[in-house]
């Protein structure tokens, strides 16, 4: 599993992947994508991450890698980067999962919150989800059988989902599993990428 290490909290993902026994690679150059089973695009600042993706030639390399079968997981800003559309006119996301996203929906850093939520496919125990300037999934085609909503807030808002595409699977979470001691979402992505 690779973790895009251009900006954001990539080290936290790397530590969890190492803790669960996964081979992990920091992805700093497009050629680091070679032979990966999965790539995590971490939380951070989405505009900066997308600028760096474009500056260092990652856009085509990521699109080619997923079309060869590399799975993808975007957390928080990574979900913005992976989405098909944004409610803002800029930046241009990668278009790898069929959702429309609003950035910083839940407010500023001071409005961060943690809530225990159910999360399909990782067991019955609630997951401690941490939301920091989190994005909001403003549009998703729930009738599309390639999409599975994995987790919702109490008001029904989807905050985690997967989509099966022709050559790859994409996972997005609007929260930060890498900031908890709960390893289950990382284990889920590793299993998904085998």
* Other Cβ atoms within 10 Å of 26 Cβ, number: 15
Residue of 12, 13, 32, 176 with catalytic role: 176
For the chain, list the strands marked E by DSSP.
2-4, 25-27, 38-41, 71-75, 83-86, 97-102, 113-117, 127-131, 136-140, 147-152, 158-164, 169-173
178 tagged catalytic: yes
Containing 31, the helix (H) or strand (E) segment is none
176 tagged catalytic: yes
The Cα–Cα gap between 55 and 60 comes to 11
Residue of 12, 13, 32, 76 with catalytic role: 76
The Cα–Cα gap between 39 and 35 comes to 11
Residue of 12, 32, 178, 186 with catalytic role: 178
Indicate the SS3 state at residue 194: coil
Residues with catalytic annotation?
Answer: 76, 176, 178
């Amino acid at each position: 599993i690779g973790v895009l290490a251009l900006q954001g909290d990539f080290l936290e993902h790397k530590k969890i992947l190492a803790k669960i026994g996964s081979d992990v690679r920091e992805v700093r150059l497009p050629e680091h994508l070679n032979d990966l089973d999965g790539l995590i695009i971490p939380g951070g600042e989405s505009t900066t991450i997308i600028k760096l993706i474009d500056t260092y030639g990652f856009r085509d390399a990521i699109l080619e890698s997923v079309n060869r079968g590399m799975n993808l997981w975007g957390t928080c800003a990574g979900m913005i980067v992976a989405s098909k559309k944004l409610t803002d006119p800029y930046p241009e996301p990668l278009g790898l999962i069929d959702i429309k996203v609003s950035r910083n929906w839940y407010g500023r850093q001071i409005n961060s919150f943690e809530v225990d939520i159910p999360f399909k496919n990782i067991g019955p125990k609630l997951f401690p989800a941490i939301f920091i300037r989190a994005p909001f999934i403003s549009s998703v085609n729930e009738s599309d059988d390639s999409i599975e909503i994995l987790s919702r807030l109490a008001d029904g808002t989807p905050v985690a989902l997967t989509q099966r595409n022709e050559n790859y699977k994409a996972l997005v979470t609007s929260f930060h599993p890498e900031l908890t001691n709960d390893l289950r979402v990382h284990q889920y992505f590793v299993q998904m990428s085998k």
